[in-house]
């Protein structure tokens, strides 16, 4: 493996985060904290607790997961789209760097940013509400697995997009609505039976449920199913990335 190439891509992407600190770190954290304040204060005054957990604490895992989903996709998609836009992607493709190393550099950087953001939001939330992490290792596992999976999805979107407008389509019109409807701010057990069944077709439900279980040992679906669904989605993304480099889709033309 060409570790020098992976490190070069990774360091370049992380350095871009440092140059755009307000946009990359501060803005998402403030936006998520505003969600926490608004929903925690407005709805928390009417819903004291869910399954024995105060509402303010209950929504923290959902907020963190929503941030991870959107930021992983946006960071990874922009990271690979910009080299395509300016033409430097051809230099990378002509260099002695394998597709695996290219993906590892870009996806690894995007996932690292998302994980850092998630941990910052968790630390910030701990200042407002009591947080209990029953399974810290599982919490980190879900955090890393979700960040990697949706960074892969963002990488695919960055290859597929042929304009800056398309970079925003999936995060804004697909990922964000699914996150809001995926149990980030409520338990799907409070929904009517028909809508509970419909919610099970939302993949975000499994991510939020598994992540929340690592905190409070409560979940809407089995933890094993949550892990299996996340792993299956990651495998699907890996297959699509392999196909992209195998065919040169939007890379060699």
User: Domain residues for 203?
Assistant: 3-247
Pull the structure tokens for residue 84.
């395509």
Answer yes or no: is 143 within a domain.
Answer: yes
pLDDT of residue 45: 63
What is the number of other CB atoms lying within 10 angstroms of the CB of residue 134?
Answer: 12
pLDDT of residue 253: 62
Q: Give pTM, 2 decimals.
A: 0.91
Where does the pLDDT of residue 244 fall: very low under 50, low under 70, confident under 90, or very high at 90 and above? very high
| CA–CA separation, 123 and 102 (whole Å) | 32
| CA–CA separation, 179 and 182 (whole Å) | 5
pLDDT of residue 40: 67
Answer yes or no: is 134 within a domain.
Answer: yes
Answer yes or no: is 252 within a domain.
Answer: no
CA distances from 177 to 75, 145, 171, 172, 241 (A): 19, 21, 9, 7, 25
Answer yes or no: is 253 within a domain.
Answer: no
Residues whose CB falls within 8 Å of the CB of residue 92, separated by 6 or more in sequence, listed in order: 9, 83, 102
Where does the pLDDT of residue 44 fall: very low under 50, low under 70, confident under 90, or very high at 90 and above? low
DSSP state at residue 185: S
- Section 14-40 average pLDDT: 77
Answer yes or no: is 31 within a domain.
Answer: yes
Residue with tokens 């939302």: 202
Domain count, the chain: 1
pLDDT in tens, 189-201: 888 889 889 998 9
Answer yes or no: is 196 within a domain.
Answer: yes
pLDDT of 37 over the 80 cut: no
């Amino acid at each position: 493996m060409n570790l020098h190439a992976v490190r070069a891509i990774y360091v370049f992407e992380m350095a871009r985060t440092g140059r755009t600190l307000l946009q990359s770190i501060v803005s998402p954290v403030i936006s998520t904290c505003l969600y926490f304040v608004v929903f925690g204060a407005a709805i928390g005054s009417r819903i004291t607790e869910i399954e024995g957990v105060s509402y303010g604490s209950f929504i923290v895992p959902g907020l963190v997961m929503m941030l991870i989903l959107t930021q992983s996709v946006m960071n990874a998609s922009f990271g690979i789209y910009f080299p395509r836009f300016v033409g430097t992607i051809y230099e990378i493709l002509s260099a002695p760097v394998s597709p695996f190393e290219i993906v590892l550099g870009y996806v690894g950087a995007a996932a690292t940013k998302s994980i850092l953001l998630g941990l910052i939001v968790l630390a910030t939330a701990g200042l407002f509400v009591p947080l209990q992490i029953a399974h810290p290792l599982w919490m980190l596992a879900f955090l890393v697995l979700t960040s990697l999976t949706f960074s892969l999805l963002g990488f695919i979107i960055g290859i597929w997009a042929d304009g800056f407008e398309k970079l925003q389509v999936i995060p804004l019109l697909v990922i964000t609505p699914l996150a809001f409807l995926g149990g980030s701010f409520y338990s799907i057990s409070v929904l009517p039976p028909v809508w509970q069944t419909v919610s099970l077709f939302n993949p975000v439900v499994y991510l939020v449920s598994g992540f929340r279980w690592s905190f409070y040992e409560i979940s809407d679906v089995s933890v094993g199913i949550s892990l299996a669904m996340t792993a299956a989605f990651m495998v699907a993304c890996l297959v699509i990335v392999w196909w992209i480099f195998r065919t040169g889709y939007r890379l060699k033309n």
